[in-house]
């Protein structure tokens, strides 16, 4: 999703903003641009495609090529804004790339979000003589500021804000005024406070190497940043607001590849550590955690509803199985994007948990807002500290998994399952259950280490696996969401059609697809009953001469039914509630190596965004 970054200070802001844009790449984008003041005029430089790679058309320079000469920045400016755009209104081209400059040339803006009433505003502005240079909704902001400008820049911005509907954060610079203004309503924005400089951006990534001091703006707030690191935070009405300065909770090392070819591979390998980070400070005082993380949890819980999108929803589905089976509380997991449109029936004693890596996913946030409005108990299981969902939820658990940069989520999923298990321990009044869970959690980092013993095998079989035209991922019970997540990874980064299915449903349709072009990927672990039933499904596929790849903790049993064209990955045994953590890792590796073999852009797959901040 779009990323914005702005700089005001003594250094060359072009360089700071350029580096910031590179760090925001993980959000996904299709075009990019920078705006700054040069010789009393606002200049913009834009390009389509990747910031540092010429991947659009031969001879079409990227942003880096446009900004640099002999490896050095050829422009210099102390007030700069930049943007990575993920197209919503208008095609990804230079005309629609940000910054957008007002017709007069006096103001330039970069915007993240959607201006819902832009069409009406555009018509009004056109009737006043404004000409639009792009097809974007964002451009109305620049013209409105220009329209309202009467020698007071801030007043013009404030008047503009009264006109805008939708979710947005934007930055604006003025040809005449030496300030950088940022504002937000519904989309994220934070302010890095450095030595004699201010950097305002969608998240902390662009400035974490320069300062760790941060202010998280709330909705309906704006910041006016000046030289010498001075800033004022105000309400949209102009009333001054005191904001707490916080510390960014991670270092620059956390957002570099650390020797791995891709962030995704690094993040897959980090999981021994990241799952530990999620449970370690909590397992030894579960009861205190109840008070700290989930204060005022209702005594008689009616239902536990997990809300999320993509990978986070699948972690929520794992939660649904755990809550019903072990806590004996009715539970469901819902796609936030469906939930928000069906006027759901929600009761006061429903406990709703938003599950989100970024904490910025628009549908998940809206779902949480709806259940809050209906009086349910709300909370969040979120990775990004200070994110919008975390703040809206007001309680719950952070994953402490560190920044996840690869667009395809990996370590967030496994930490989410830990967090969901911890939450469920609060519902289960059984000390031996809790003790067994704690013991198994403590063994997990070592067991995850063992899973990586299979990495070479997975790498070796990759050329054969990459030949398949489609994949059917099959799992039963708690392994069903694992099948969904495994298939999602293959789709996301290898661009091969893959479908996750409940293995019991296989004979109601998908079995018709079995042929030499499709590989069935089975996840067969856990309790005897479930193991046996899933194995029966495998036998059915084998009877139809289908090829299979099996993830299992009991190789001996499975092997009886396999032939030479089949593949087996042995994973360590754990309790069913934690098994999705172990079982997903070979599937993450499989998708990774197939994608790498096929030369895909693994960390930034086509058409995908890390953080989807529009509904």
Residues that bind ligand G6P (CB under 6 A): 309-312, 356-358, 361, 364, 407-409, 608-612
Q: How far apart are CA 359 and CA 215, in angstroms?
A: 17
Nearer to ligand G6P, 406 or 546 (CB): 406
Nearer to ligand G6P, 197 or 267 (CB): 267
212 is catalytic: no
- Closest CB 200 distance from ligand G6P, rounded Å: 22
What does DSSP assign to residue 99?
Answer: P
Q: Cβ(26)–Cβ(73) under 8 Å?
A: no
Q: Cβ(376)–Cβ(346) under 8 Å?
A: yes
Q: Please state whether beta strands 497-502 and 470-475 pair in parallel, antiparallel, or not at all (unpaired).
A: parallel
What separation in angstroms does the CA of 597 have from each of 82, 145, 303, 373, 548?
34, 50, 44, 48, 20
What does DSSP assign to residue 431?
Answer: H
Nearer to ligand G6P, 310 or 396 (CB): 310
Q: In the numeric block, which tokens belong to residue 74?
A: 């050829």
- Closest CB 70 distance from ligand G6P, rounded Å: 37
Q: Which residues pair with 549 in a beta bridge?
A: 521, 567
Phi, psi of 189, rounded to the nearest 5 degrees = -160, 130
Q: How big is the chain by its Cα radius of gyration, in Å?
A: 25
Q: Tell me how far the alpha carbon of residue 147 is from its chain's centroid.
A: 36
| Position with the least CB separation from ligand G6P | 310
Nearer to ligand G6P, 96 or 361 (CB): 361
- Closest CB 361 distance from ligand G6P, rounded Å: 3
Nearer to ligand G6P, 310 or 546 (CB): 310
Nearer to ligand G6P, 380 or 510 (CB): 380
Catalytic residue among 266, 447, 491, 610: 610
3-state secondary structure at position 250: coil
Which DSSP string do the residues of 289-323 spell out, in sequence order?
HHHHHSTT--SS--EEEEEE-HHHHHHHHHHHHHH
Q: How far apart are CA 223 and CA 205, in angstroms?
A: 19
3-state secondary structure at position 423: helix
352 is catalytic: no
Residue found by looking up tokens 């250094």 in the block: 11
Nearer to ligand G6P, 222 or 382 (CB): 382
Other beta carbons within 10 Å of 213:
16
- In sign, the C-alpha dihedral spanning 466, 471, 477, 478 is positive
- Closest CB 533 distance from ligand G6P, rounded Å: 29
- Closest CB 254 distance from ligand G6P, rounded Å: 17
- Closest CB 525 distance from ligand G6P, rounded Å: 23
- Closest CB 588 distance from ligand G6P, rounded Å: 12
Cα dihedral 611, 380, 408, 192, rounded to 10, equals: 50
Would you name the residues annotated as active-site residues? 2, 610
């Amino acid at each position: 999703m779009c990323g914005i970054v702005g700089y005001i200070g003594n250094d060359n802001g072009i360089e700071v903003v350029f580096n910031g844009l590179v760090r925001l790449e993980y959000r996904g984008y299709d075009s990019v641009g920078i705006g700054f003041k040069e010789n009393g005029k606002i200049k913009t430089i834009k390009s389509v495609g990747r910031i540092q790679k010429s991947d659009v058309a031969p001879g079409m320079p990227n942003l880096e090529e446009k900004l640099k000469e002999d490896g050095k920045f050829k422009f210099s400016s102390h007030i700069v804004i930049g943007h990575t755009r993920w197209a919503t209104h208008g095609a990804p081209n230079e005309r629609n790339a940000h910054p957008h400059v007002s017709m007069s040339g006096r103001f330039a803006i970069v915007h993240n979000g959607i201006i819902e009433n832009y069409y009406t505003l555009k018509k009004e502005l056109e009737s006043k003589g404004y000409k639009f240079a792009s097809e974007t909704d964002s451009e109305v902001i620049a013209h409105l500021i220009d329209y309202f400008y009467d020698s007071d820049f801030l007043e013009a911005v404030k008047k503009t804000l009264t006109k805008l509907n939708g979710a947005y954060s934007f930055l604006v610079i003025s040809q005449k005024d030496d300030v950088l203004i940022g504002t937000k309503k519904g989309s994220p924005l934070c302010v890095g406070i450095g030595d004699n400089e201010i950097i305002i951006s969608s998240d902390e990534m662009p400035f974490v190497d320069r300062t760790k001091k941060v202010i998280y703006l709330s909705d309906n707030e704006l910041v006016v940043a000046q030289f010498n690191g001075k800033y004022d935070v105000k309400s949209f009405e102009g009333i001054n607001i005191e904001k707490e300065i916080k510390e960014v909770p991670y270092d620059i090392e956390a957002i570099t590849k650390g020797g791995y070819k891709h962030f995704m591979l690094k993040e897959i390998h980090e999981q021994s550590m990241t799952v530990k980070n999620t449970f370690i400070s909590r397992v030894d005082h579960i009861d205190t955690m109840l008070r700290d993380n989930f204060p005022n949890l209702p005594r008689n819980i009616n239902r536990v509803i997990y809300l999320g999108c993509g990978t986070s929803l699948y972690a929520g589905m794992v939660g649904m199985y755990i809550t019903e089976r072990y806590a004996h509380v009715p539970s469901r997991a819902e796609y936030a994007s469906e939930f928000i449109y069906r006027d759901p029936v929600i009761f006061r004693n429903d406990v709703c948990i938003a599950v989100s890596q970024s904490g910025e996913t628009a549908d998940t946030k809206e779902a949480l807002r709806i259940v809050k409005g209906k009086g349910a108990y709300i909370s969040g299981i979120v990775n990004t500290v200070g994110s919008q969902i975390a703040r809206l939820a007001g309680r719950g658990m952070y994953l402490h998994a560190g920044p996840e940069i690869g667009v395809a989520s990996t370590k967030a999923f496994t930490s989410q399952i830990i967090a969901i298990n911890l939450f469920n321990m609060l519902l289960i009044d059984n000390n031996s259950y809790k003790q067994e869970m704690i013991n198994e959690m403590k063994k997990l980092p070592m067991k995850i280490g063992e899973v990586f013993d299979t990495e070479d095998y997975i790498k070796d079989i990759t050329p054969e696996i990459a030949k398949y035209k489609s994949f059917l991922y099959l799992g039963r019970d708690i392994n069903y969401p694992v099948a969904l997540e495994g298939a999602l990874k293959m789709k996301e980064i290898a661009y091969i059609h893959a479908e996750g299915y409940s293995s019991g449903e296989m004979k109601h349709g998908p079995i018709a697809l079995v042929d030499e072009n499709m590989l069935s990927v089975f996840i067969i672990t856990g309790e005897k009953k479930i193991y046996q039933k899933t194995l029966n499904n495998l036998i059915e596929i084998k009877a139809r001469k289908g090829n299979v790849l099996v993830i299992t903790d009991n190789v001996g049993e499975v092997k009886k039914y396999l032939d030479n064209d089949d593949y087996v990955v042995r994973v360590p045994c754990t309790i069913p509630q934690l098994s999705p953590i172990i079982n997903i890792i070979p599937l993450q590796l499989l998708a990774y190596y197939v994608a790498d073999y096929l030369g895909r852009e693994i960390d930034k797959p086509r058409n995908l965004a890390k953080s989807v901040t529009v509904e």
